[in-house]
Amino acid sequence: MIVGFSSSIHKKYEGSTFQLLAETVSKALDMATIDLKDIDGIFYTVLPGVFDGKASLHFSSFQIPSFLGIKPKVIELVEYGGPSALTMVYRAEKLIEVGEINTALCVVGGKASFLRENKVTVDAVDRFLGNVQLTPYDDLFRVYQDLNPVSDYALVAKRHSKLFGTSDEQRALIAVMQRKNALGNERAMYKTPLTVKDVLESRVVSDPLRLLEIVYPVDGFHVFVVSKHQRKSDLRPLKVEFYGESHWSEMPPELPDIVYTPAVESSNGVNLERIDAFQLYDSFTITVMLQMEDIGLTEKGKGGEFVERTDITYQGEVPINTGGGSLNVGQPAFMSGGVILEEAILQLNDMATNHQVKDANRVLINGIGGWNRGHSVTMVLGEGNV
């Protein structure tokens, strides 16, 4: 069960990435009342260029536990990008179940400001760091001008509109309702009310996606402590009630169509009737719409109509991204899995002050990530009551 968690989010953190990590780990361990010596598993993720601007750590599996002073039995690097945090918690729980370990630390984050200041993203880190190849086919498509991942999701949004008649206003509604959720969230960076007009009047970054539909990369970490022992933790004994993952390995042009995500498969078999709130990966407004469709909240192509007739705020009939999502909290190190997982835990523990969903007993979290939406993880957290 999850016995502790914490987050540290900064627009720009001046200290080292390790320092920021250590602070966040300490807060999570304090909540869990667990010592360093009791941690026998570490799950973590790192993206190129977001650990103090270095392309990667040499043996991150050594450097991270070494700095933190942890001597685990199990170390696992989960490289799904966005949904990594969800997978870490699931795998930690599984290893605890079979008795391999007792207590695991799950770590997601890093510093994104370094790339942001140099006007690149992790999908363009090759343009800044020398001698980095993103794929085996770089010489065939890195010759073009793109703004990935923004332009990649713009291609999806454009095609979604062409195929299904989805309007810019409909996508903007997602940003507007998520902002309503953010107004009461002390963790949110953006807390001024937003209208559809504001979204539509914001600068077009990559047609049709506008500035207010795009996540802001920040510095930060999320840490989750999963343990067999509840100790003094006041948190509800949450379990992973449903878990699915799916990985589509095609380059986007080679997918059957770009308007589908692997969430179609990772969510296969989940019972939506029993879900009280949804945390859907929100790197962009279109990402949220794709998941609404792919997990089955509405039919493929009907995401636009769905948000027109459904109140998705925390007080609404289908609460989605109840803390405002990463569109409003910011995206630490280009991965939002920690943001949506933390919000789910807050909701389930009645800790979401001013944005609490009434009677939240079961929350669905869906993470999307990796190279161009290659990975999807669907997870339901609850107490396991039937």
Partner 1 sequence: MFEEIKKKYQEMFGNEKLPYLKCTRCGHSFYYPRDYCPKCRSRELEVRESRGVGSVFSMTKFRDRDNKEIYYGIVELEEGFRMYANFIVPVEIGDMVRVKFLGKESKVPFFEKI
Binding segment toward partner 1, per CB under 8 A, in 97-105, 137-145, 268-276, 359-367: 137-145
Q: Does position 254 bind partner 1 by CB under 8 A?
A: yes
Among 10, 54, 127, 159, binds partner 1 (CB under 8 A): 159
User: Which residue number, 204 or 272, has a Cβ lying nearer to partner 1?
Assistant: 204
Size of interface with partner 1, in residues (CB under 8 A) = 29
Q: Count the Cβ atoms, other than its own, within 10 Å of residue 97.
A: 10
Helix (H, G, I), strand (E, B) or coil at 376: strand
Per-residue binding string, partner 1, 299-318, x by CB under 8 A, is: --------------------
- 35, 58, 130, 143: residue in contact with partner 1 (rule CB under 8 A): 143
Helix (H, G, I), strand (E, B) or coil at 302: coil
- Strands (DSSP E) contained in the chain are 2-10, 41-44, 74-77, 103-110, 204-206, 209-210, 217-227, 239-247, 277-280, 331-332, 362-369, 375-382
Taking the complex as a whole, the smallest distance from the CB of residue 272 to partner 1 amounts, in Å, to: 29
| 111 residue type, one letter | K
**How far apart are CB 210 and partner 1 at their closest, in Å?**
11
Of the candidate spans 23-31, 124-132, 167-175, 202-210, the one that interacts with partner 1 by CB under 8 A turns out to be 202-210
Residue 272 touches partner 1, criterion: CB under 8 A: no
CA atoms in the 13 A half-sphere facing the CB of 276: 17
Q: Does 99 bind partner 1 (CB under 8 A)?
A: no
Contact residue for partner 1 among 91, 111, 116, 158 (CB under 8 A)? 158
CA distance 11 to 189: 8
Q: Residue 124 interacts with partner 1 (CB under 8 A)?
A: no
Residue of 1, 96, 155, 364 interacting with partner 1 (CB under 8 A): 155
Q: Does 94 bind partner 1 (CB under 8 A)?
A: no
**How far is it, in rounded angstroms, from Cα 373 to Cα 288?**
12
Residue 271 token pair: 């019972």
139 vs 126: CA distance, rounded Å:
12
169 forms part of the interface with partner 1 (CB under 8 A): no
14 binds partner 1 (CB under 8 A): no
Handedness of CA 242, 217, 5, 81 (dihedral sign): positive
Which parts of 206-235 interact with partner 1 (CB under 8 A)?
Answer: 206-209
As a whole number of Å, the end-to-end CA separation of the chain is 17
Q: Are strands 204-206 and 74-77 parallel, antiparallel or unpaired?
A: unpaired
Residues that bind partner 1 (CB under 8 A): 136-137, 139-141, 143-147, 150-151, 154-156, 158-159, 162, 204-209, 251-254, 258
